[in-house]
Chains A and B, each alone.
Chain A
Amino acid sequence: MGIKGLTKLLADNAPKAMKEQKFESYFGRKIAIDASMSIYQFLIVVGRAGTEMLTNEAGEVTSHLQGMFSRTIRLLEAGMKPVYVFDGKPPDLKKQELAKRYSKRVDATEDLAEAVEAGNKEDIEKFSKRTVKVTKQHNDDCKRLLRLMGVPVVEAPSEAEAQCAALCKSGKVYAVASEDMDSLTFGASKFLRHLMDPSSRKIPVMEFEVAKILEELNLSMDQFIDLCILSGCDYCESIRGIGGQTALKLIRQHGSIEDILENINKDRYQIPEDWPYQEARKLFKEPEVFTDEEQVELKWTPPDEEGLITFLVNENGFNSDRVTKAIEKIKAAKNKSSQGRLESFFKPVANTSAPIKRKETPGNTPKETANKKTKAGGGRKKK
């Protein structure tokens, strides 16, 4: 999933591009969320123990609804305006990756059956996680739920990630929230991780800014895309023996995949035959997305109370009191999103004072310090 090792690569080489932010500080912001990713997480995490899942009377799984309902309310209560983007048809290049995932799931299903027979609890836990698959039914349930909640839903023509990034680039949303790092490769100007994590885990939101990443890595957007392809993406294989760190070095040295291919030692690195890196690059640069105003209309509306009760309580066996309370929360949250921010009135200016603290060692450029083990976010406080 996503780009291999990109988080670590960025933490080591572009620590200034990532910032820890408080969940609450995103009030009033429109945020595009990759729905499929979230649903997948909910199916794994919410109300599951071993092979047991949260279900309604008919035995259909409802973990995704529970997760989607409570997390979305949490976003709304914090004053955020979420937009959920659903996957459309996967691009042809991703089919290979999907086939791989499918076969992994088949393996896991077999392993699970064995584990159940053997009664090994740890293995049951491990393999049942791997058998989780988001079906069309799950997606449709969530879309229906979100529409009832008054939260906009966008159905992407192809990859949800790409559509999220397009919304962000065109300024329709403030940021993209996902756990999948390829949002950055698609060029989402601001990208948030851990936004959808449960509050109980107390993990701060990690904000990435593409412009700063490029500045810190000293790469162009095209070079960054090449770097991601070399590190390993969903669309094609990567060259064996080249990971993120080497890829960054090669890109800095040669500038593009084409030039790298001309210059590297072909005996040492095996370049895959028929390597479709150009198509992969095209998918990142010009993905199939809606840009039309009509197709991506974002409107937040009051919740449909009766609809929610029918759907959640009557059809899916949710506790009626809890749903009613939750609806009250959604309605109360509507007033919260109107707090203004100072940036909309005052513009940043450069501060003229220099810090009194001496730089650690003269001539130690920020880049070099960055290469040492500066942990993500932790690099700000010295001493």
Chain B
Amino acid sequence: MLELRLVQGSLIKKVLESIKDLVNDANFDCSATGFSLQAMDSSHVALVALLLRSEGFEHYRCDRNISMGMNLGNMSKMLKCAGNDDIITIKADDGSDTVTFMFESPTQDKIADFEMKLMDIDSEHLGIPEAEYQAIVRMPSAEFARICRDLASIGDTVVISVTKEGVKFSTRGDIGTANIVLRQNTTVDKPEEATIIEMTEPVSLTFALRYMNSFTKATPLSSTVTISLSTELPVVVEYKIAEMGYIRFYLAPKIEEDEDEHETKPQV
């Protein structure tokens, strides 16, 4: 038996909007601690990890650890039918092959039930070790989304470099190049407008902008975004979800080609 009641139903709507284009099908895992998901895109370049802690729900009942395979496109279709102020309840019975989404209007004068078929998904679960990152940048999420969108109109990849000076986003394309530098800035009126850079070592990594732009679909979830970088690791782009959890996107960097492959001329 599973029953999760979320007063701020729009959160789960926004979560779905942010991941449905990256991942088609995924298993949602429910346990006493919370409602979570881990899934990779089909080419295994990006991974999304979602956690909504049980305390964040008005009512949370989960008798045993279970996973529910869902098609995210279909789930999103159903959640779109919920109003932004609606209270959303997710329900499933033991042994059932469906999940029910219930939408209640704030005034309790309208109640809608949507039942969706579950799927069997054999997905790989990756172990993500806790790591110390060489550089962590916290910045306004809208600013990050803007930078990724702007750069994507010039090139396909972004080089993110963090130095003492600040964080630099650069790209190169057929029509030219672009460089955007953000400096640490903590003297702002609102704390969420700050740009904070914590760095133990300078780091520079290259990523596909296509994925970054997909991650920024999570912007409505949080006014700030945290980008964690280390030379030997995928980047983590994290959006906090209210007080109850997070959505983290991991993206494998682009790797320099082996030098020896360029040495020889074709022998004809």
Q: Which residues of A come within 8 Å of B, CB atoms? A: 22, 24-25, 27, 144, 147-150, 299-304, 307, 334, 337-358, 380-383
Instruction: Select one of B65, B121, B260 contacting A353, CB under 8 A.
Output: B65
In angstroms, how far is the closest chain B Cβ from the Cβ of A76? 13
Residue of B nearest to A28 (CB): B255
B-chain residues with CB within 8 Å of residue A301 when the two chains form the complex: 261-262, 264-266
Q: In the assembled complex, how far is the CB of residue B1 from the closest CB belonging to chain A, in whole angstroms?
A: 10
Check B44 against A342 for contact (C-beta < 8 Å). yes
Q: Which of B43, B69, B127, B268 contacts A147 (CB 8 A)?
A: B268
Given contacts A349-B127, A353-B31, contact A337 B257 (CB under 8 A): yes
B52 to A: closest C-beta gap in Å: 15
B208, CB-defined interface residue at 8 Å: yes
B42 beta carbon closer than 8 Å to chain A: yes
**Shortest distance from the beta carbon of B232 to any chain A beta carbon, whole Å:** 8
Is B119 an interface residue, CB under 8 A from the partner? yes
Q: Is there contact, CB below 8 Å, between B233 and A345? A: yes
A148:B266 contact, CB within 8 angstroms: yes
B34 cross-chain contacts in A, Cβ below 8 A: none
14 pairs of residues in contact across A and B, judged by CB atoms under 8 Å: A25-B42, A25-B43, A27-B43, A147-B268, A299-B260, A340-B253, A341-B43, A343-B44, A346-B127, A347-B126, A348-B124, A349-B125, A357-B120, A383-B117
Do A340 and B252 touch across chains, with their CB atoms under 8 A apart?
A: yes
Q: What are the 8 A-B residue pairs with the smallest beta carbon separation, nearest first?
A: A340-B252, A358-B95, A349-B127, A353-B67, A346-B126, A351-B125, A353-B65, A356-B66
Q: Is the CB of B95 within 8 A of A356?
A: yes
Total count of chain B residues near the partner, CB < 8 A: 55
Closest to A26 in B: B43
B67, A300: Cβ atoms closer than 8 Å = no
CB contact between A338 and one of B46, B123, B126, B255 (< 8 Å): that residue: B255
Set B27, B46, B265: member contacting A342, Cβ < 8 A: B46
Give complex CA distance A348, B123 in Å: 10
Pick the contact of B29 from A149, A345, A348, A351 — CB < 8 Å? Answer: A351
Tell whether B256 is near chain A: CB-to-CB under 8 Å. Answer: yes
Cβ contacts under 8 Å, B253 to chain A: 340
Bound complex: CA A295 to CA B44 (Å) = 33
Q: Are A357 and B95 in contact (CB under 8 A)?
A: yes
B66–A354 contact, CB under 8 A? yes
Query: A348 — which chain B residues lie within 8 A by C-beta?
Result: 124-127
**Contact A345–B268 (Cβ < 8 Å):** no
Would you give the shortest CB distance from B246 to chain A, in whole angstroms?
A: 17
Report A-chain residues with C-beta under 8 Å of the C-beta of B42: 22, 24-25
Closest to B174 in A: A332
Show the binding face of B for A, using Cβ within 8 Å: 2, 27, 29-31, 40, 42-47, 64-69, 92, 94-97, 117-129, 208, 232-234, 250, 252-257, 260-262, 264-268
Number of A-B residue pairs, CB cutoff 8 Å, is 141
Contacts of A347 in B (CB 8 A): 126-127
Task: Give A380 to B125 CA distance when docked, in angstroms.
Answer: 17
- A357 CA to B126 CA in the complex, in Å? 23
- Chain B residues lying within 8 Å of A302, measured Cβ to Cβ, are 262, 266
> A147-B267, A338-B254, A383-B117 given as contacts; is B67 within 8 A of A354 (CB)?
yes
Asked whether, in the complex, the Cβ of A340 is within 8 Å of the Cβ of B43, the reply is no
Contact of A345 among B69, B122, B234, B266 (CB under 8 A): B234
Determine the chain B residues whose CB is within 8 A of the CB of A304 once the complex forms.
Answer: 265-266, 268
* Interchain CA distance A345-B45 in the complex, whole Å: 11
Instruction: Return chain A residues, CB-CB under 8 Å to B232.
Output: 345
Q: Besides the contacts A301-B266, A339-B255, what 7 more A-B pairs have beta carbons closer than 8 Å? A: A338-B255, A338-B257, A340-B45, A340-B253, A346-B128, A351-B29, A356-B118
**Complex interface: chain A residues within 8 A of B118 (CB):** 356-357, 383
Rounded to whole Å, the gap between the CB of B139 and the closest CB of chain A is 24
Cα distance A318–B214 in the bound complex, in angstroms: 41
User: In the docked arrangement, what's the CA distance between A27 and B45, Å?
Assistant: 10
Residue numbers in B under 8 Å from A357 (CB-CB): 69, 95-97, 118, 120
Q: In the assembly, what is the distance between CA of A25 and CA of B266, in Å? A: 28
Query: A342 contacts B250, CB within 8 Å?
Result: yes
A299 to B27 CA separation, bound complex (whole angstroms): 41
Please, which residues of chain A bring their CB within 8 A of the CB of B122? 380
In the assembly, what is the distance between CA of A122 and CA of B264, in Å?
Answer: 50
Name the one of A27, A307, A339, A356 contacting B266, with C-beta atoms under 8 angstroms: A307
Q: How far is the CB of B192 from chain A (nearest CB, A)?
A: 30
Q: A301-B265, A342-B40 are in contact. Are A353 and B29 (CB under 8 A)?
A: yes
Residues of A within 8 A of B66 (CB): 353-356
Q: How far is the CB of B266 from chain A (nearest CB, A)?
A: 5
Look across to chain B and name the residue whose beta carbon is closest to the beta carbon of A304.
B266
When C-beta atoms are compared, the residue in chain A nearest to B131 turns out to be: A345
Chain A residues near B233 (CB-CB < 8 A): 345
A341 to B64, CA, bound (A): 33
Contacts of A144 in B (CB 8 A): 268
- Chain B residues contacting A382 (CB-CB under 8 Å) are 97, 119-120
C-alpha spacing A353/B67, complex, angstroms: 6
Q: By the criterion CB–CB under 8 Å, are A355 and B268 in contact? A: no
Chain A, Cβ-Cβ closest to B124 = A348
Partner of B252, one of A147, A339, A355: A339
The residues of A that contact B208 with a CB separation of less than 8 Å are 339
Which residue of A has the minimal Cβ distance to B64?
Answer: A354
Residues of A within 8 A of B252 (CB): 339-342, 344-345
Which residues of chain B come closer than 8 Å to A343, judged between CB atoms? 44, 126
With a CB–CB cut-off of 8 A, which chain A residues contact B40?
Answer: 342
Alpha-carbon distance A350/B265, docked complex (angstroms): 46
Residues of A within 8 A of B69 (CB): 355, 357
